[in-house]
Amino acid sequence: MKNKIPSYKIKENEDIIFRLLKIEDIPHNYENKPHRHEFYEILWFNSKNNNIVIDFETYCSEKEAMYFITPGKVNYYDSYNTTGNILVFSKDFISNNSQLLHTMFVDFYNNPKVVLDSGLLYQLNHLLELIKFESDQTEKDLKILESYLISLLLNIQKSKKQLYQNKIANSKNTERIINFYQLVETNYIKEHKAEFYADNLYLTSQQTNLILKNAVGKTISRIIHERLVLEAKRQFLLNKMNIKEISYYLGFDDPAYFSRFIKKHTGFSPDVLKTNIRKYSNNTR
């Protein structure tokens, strides 16, 4: 299907599941245009640069900050005069630690950014040096790289626990919440009703809503609606489908209802929202 925002693999035609890159070595036309990845990405800036945009939210980047980007998120930033590192790895690289992976990357706190304090920075710089050393070996040991990556994520998770009081990681419902978000990501286009997701968790809608509201302050329906609006914005940015086509693509049988849905959740009609998004995109690059 041609109507897609560019989606990049770690490297075409190569079975590479982990890679460490320098931001300054990335082609500028790659990062400063809206795109998404088929892999997990950790951006680690060592210098201040222009804003970074992740799924239409602008974050003022700063020195010694990390950004966690999941597969599918639309993002871009100006890589000119920017230094730092990028860690990219496939979905299966640390598959045995799926809870850690989703706790770190699924944006429960609505903030994919972590600012590194001096103590955490010392630890992570040491781990980065170890990753660089092993990555430079002729025969890389993926198990060693996996252990370094897990250590890096665990150290950052510990810091986030202290910062956000870690409502989710301390909850007995962590696995249910992770499964819920995975269900939404897989089914949000064809399944708009809350009951579908609760049933697949073997819970009632009331039970599921209570778990979600305690952890993330949102209901099933709100999360589904936010995901639909996000994908609509992505398609508006791409500008290759008209409003009617986007409504059908997102599982709405009635384009007029889709227009009312967008107006209700954004305050703008689809046409106005589309214009605003494209202006915003041009102004932030």
Whichever domain contains 78, its CATH number is 2.60.120.280
Task: Tell whether 13 is covered by a domain.
Answer: yes
Given 141, 164, 187, the domain boundary residue is 164
Let me know whether 200 and 226 are in one domain: yes
User: What's the rounded Cα separation, in Å, for the pair 101 and 96?
Assistant: 9
User: What's the rounded Cα separation, in Å, for the pair 66 and 121?
Assistant: 11
Residue range 219-231: mean pLDDT, rounded: 95
The pLDDT-based confidence of 77 (bands split at 50, 70, 90) is confident
| DSSP code, position 74 | -
User: What's the rounded Cα separation, in Å, for the pair 160 and 108?
Assistant: 12
Range of the domain at 254: 174-283
Given 142, 164, 186, the domain boundary residue is 164
User: What's the rounded Cα separation, in Å, for the pair 177 and 218?
Assistant: 12
Q: pTM (2 decimals)?
A: 0.69
Q: What does the pLDDT read at residue 131?
A: 94
Q: What does the pLDDT read at residue 6?
A: 54
| DSSP code, position 95 | G
pLDDT tens for residues 227-284?
999 999 988 887 778 999 999 999 999 999 999 999 999 999 999 999 988 776 665 5
Sign (positive or negative) of CA dihedral 226, 229, 235, 236: negative
User: What's the rounded Cα separation, in Å, for the pair 87 and 40?
Assistant: 8
Residue 170, phi then psi, degrees to nearest 5: -90, 0
Given 112, 146, 164, the domain boundary residue is 164
Q: What does the pLDDT read at residue 8?
A: 57
- Count of the separate structural domains present in the chain: 2
Let me know whether 130 and 253 are in one domain: no
Whichever domain contains 242, its CATH number is 1.10.10.60
Task: Tell whether 169 is covered by a domain.
Answer: no
Residue 9: Cβ within 10 Å count: 13
